[in-house]
Amino acid sequence: MRRVLILGGTGWLGREIARLAVAAGDSVTCLARGESGAAPAGIEFVQADRRKPGAYATLQRDWDEVIELAYEPELVQPALDALARHAAHWTLVSTVSVYASNDSLGPNEPLADETAALVHPTDMDDYGHAKAAAEAATAAALGGRENRPRLLTVRPGLIVGPGDPTDRFGYWPARLQRGGAVLAPDTQSRFVQVIDVADLAEWLVRAGRERRTGIVNAVGDVHPMADFFAQALEAVRSDADLVTAEDAWLVKHGVNYWAGPHSLPLWIPTADAGLTQRSNRRYLEAGGTLRPLHETIERSLADEVARGVDRARRSGLSSAEERELLTALARDADPGAAFSVAQRRRDNN
């Protein structure tokens, strides 16, 4: 029986990895405090704070696979010191935020792959910097000529699907299903690139079993944002009417990019569109799978309905905030500042 140690396992992705590894017949141990969530069923749970001495004391055994989900240097380095020599294979879950540039691509430019330059990690409070430092520390501990390669570094892009604690992606299917006038960003020169949590977790477990090594962007296909909205509208089958506001107007009215309170999720400055234009060639060549985008939208919608579309959420606009913005937009409206997609569709027909 494979012995798998997950450094984490109580969070969203880690829990899914643990569940699938147990289902695949692995003996799974998870190390965490238990603050992010309960320990998954069917595993050995080692409850410890990795910032405290002795956290790894009971884990000094041989592991077929270690999966690291954390990135803070004070968690990553002691784990490497304590466990690297016991691990036949190590998977570090990193992020595409380690790349130095998110510049949007020109029309004929190829998608950026894993050889793109990384940030120089100087600011450990910055997520991308800390992940880049975690990558370097892990490569240093697990590399070396005497070892055969045993490190897989995985750089996911935006992870989406049922259970997403950030409430980003699900905002759109949930909001579109409610119908009516929906405040949306201009989709021109914008893209959506996501990976379903189930696809990612399944591949991470399989890649560990296959002892894959190297560096892999785990990202979905690049979809023009307009296609994403078209597929989401199709999936929810509502009378939603997208009302587009220009970037400058949204920024002026305090709407945040990407995620968090008072945001339009997935909306990023067009200059940073490279964040959503990463190559997934290696992921696909390594056997990674991607379900169709509409399936992920449908899965997210079902999850939103189950969790309650009217719950307080971590990302997006509340109904009251959106209503206020739509009223202001209508007041400011001129043909250049706002238009109704539904109206445009009617005009085009």
Contacts with ligand NAP by CB under 6 A lie at 8-14, 32-36, 49-51, 69-71, 75, 93, 95, 156, 158-159
Measured from the CB atom, the residue of 174 and 204 that comes closer to ligand NAP is 204
Least distance in angstroms from the C-beta of 176 to ligand NAP: 21
CA distance 288 to 280: 9
> Shortest Cβ contact with ligand NAP: which residue?
11
- Please identify, using beta-carbon distances, which residue of 98 and 232 lies nearer to ligand NAP: 98
Instruction: Tell whether the torsion through CA atoms of 323, 325, 326 and 332 is positive or negative.
Output: positive
| Angstrom distance (rounded) from CA 32 to CA 46 | 7
Name which of 290 and 341 has its Cβ closer to ligand NAP. Answer: 290
C-alpha atoms less than 13 angstroms from C-alpha of 272 in its C-beta half-sphere = 11
Separation of alpha carbons 86 and 91, rounded Å: 14
Q: At closest approach, how far in Å is the CB of 269 from ligand NAP?
A: 18
Question: In the complex with ligand NAP, which residue's Cβ is closer, 33 or 345?
Answer: 33
Confirm if 190 and 8 have CB atoms less than 8 A apart: no
CB of 265 to ligand NAP, least distance (A): 11
The minimum distance between CB 21 and ligand NAP, in angstroms, equals: 13
Q: How far is it, in rounded angstroms, from Cα 166 to Cα 170?
A: 9
Report, in angstroms and rounded to the nearest whole number, the Rg of the chain calculated over CA atoms.
22
- The whole-angstrom separation of Cα 208 and Cα 203 is 8
For the bound state, the minimum distance from the C-beta of residue 329 to ligand NAP, rounded and expressed in Å, comes to 29
Q: Which two tokens stand for residue 339?
A: 């238009």
13 or 183, CB closer to ligand NAP?
13
